Amino acid sequence: MAVSKKELVLSAMDRKGVERVPAGFWFHFLDDEIHANAYDDPSLEKKVLDGELRYIEESQPDFVKIMTDGFFSYPNPVVQQARTAAELAKVQPLPDDHPFFTRQIAYAQEITRRYGNEIATFYNIFSAATTVKFMQPGTIDESETFLTNLVRADKEAVKAAFAVISADIAKLARRIIEEAGVTGIYLSLQNHTGFGDDRSVYRAVFAPGEQEILRAANAANDYNILHICGYAGHRNELEWYRGYEVKTINWAAVVEGVPLEEGRKVFPEHALLGGFGNLDTDVLYRGSRAEVEAETRRILSAAGRTGVLLGADCTVPRDIDRNRFAWVREAARV
């Protein structure tokens, strides 16, 4: 009896032997995925949903990271308006019937009711810190500076605020699995540049909420993915996440200079997702078919075929030739 794509992916995440190493890639559907607001403009949600469904039909992926362009923000007026740590600390939880929950659940259901039995689906969720950063105007660097200044001004106030925000994100994680029927979540987080290698700040302010989100997701279904984001060349201390309770780890192998086989030393108890660079200068985007296939075989030769899912450092360019994903899948068969 043939193994379904979903079964294939879950077996890989369980670090069992598989007949073929699964692969998955994703990209954004909106021009400004960070600042787009689908809560105010439902047409953006429709555009992302239509793009996601079209991608699944045309590319037939092994698994899907459900993109949440337009839903990056946390639509809580206190957080939206806060400019100081003291203002941020006044945040209160959202009610259960808030669109933050209901709209995202409904959106995910549109995908799972069509494909949830066939392929594994992982809903994109951001940590509290990343969410707050995305809600700021300006560049990523400017939002990182804003976050750093908040923590330096009043670490305890920010920690308290993140506890509230993370609890709502954790509730979303649980509900999106239980009510929308997704397989699990894809939790995106990263070190924060304003604190360098000061792990004590990260442990005190950022890690508790991140781990709460994972606990909530794991309580609903433990097939979840942690993404240590290397967006725009951002570097991370991968060791900080060694003890996070999650089946699968994805990090920017090319950006970090830590290929899958080296990452296995950091994360010996996890399945590993990634291997390919995600930029338009990398082989996945620019290489010939022979080069993409050769890179697939090289990655698997070094990393092994057990407990591995092929993917990229992060989202790939929107205009990538979708046929390239099939090249990787076919090369992973042999």
Is the confidence at residue 1, as pLDDT, over 60?
Answer: no
3-state secondary structure of 219: helix
Residue positions counted in the chain? 334
Say which residues have a Cβ less than 8 Å from residue 200's Cβ, sequence separation at least 6: none
What total number of domains does the chain contain?
1
**Nearest-angstrom CA–CA distance, 121 and 180:** 11
Strands (E), 207-260: 225-228, 248-251
Expressed as residue numbers, the domain containing 150 is 5-332
Q: What is the pLDDT of residue 319?
A: 97
- Give the 3-state secondary structure percentages of the chain, helix then strand then coil, rounded to 5: 50, 10, 40
Contact in structure between 15 and 271 (CB atoms under 8 Å): yes
Is the confidence at residue 207, as pLDDT, over 90?
Answer: yes
The confidence band for 192, taking pLDDT boundaries of 50, 70 and 90, is confident
Beta bridge partners of 226: 187, 249
What value does the mean pLDDT take over residues 261-266?
A: 97
In the chain, the N- to C-terminal Cα span, in Å, equals 20
Q: Residue 258 is part of a domain; what is its CATH number?
A: 3.20.20.210
pTM: 0.97
Kindly calculate the radius of gyration of the chain based on its CA atoms and give it in whole angstroms. Answer: 19
Say which residues have a Cβ less than 8 Å from residue 326's Cβ, sequence separation at least 6: 59, 60
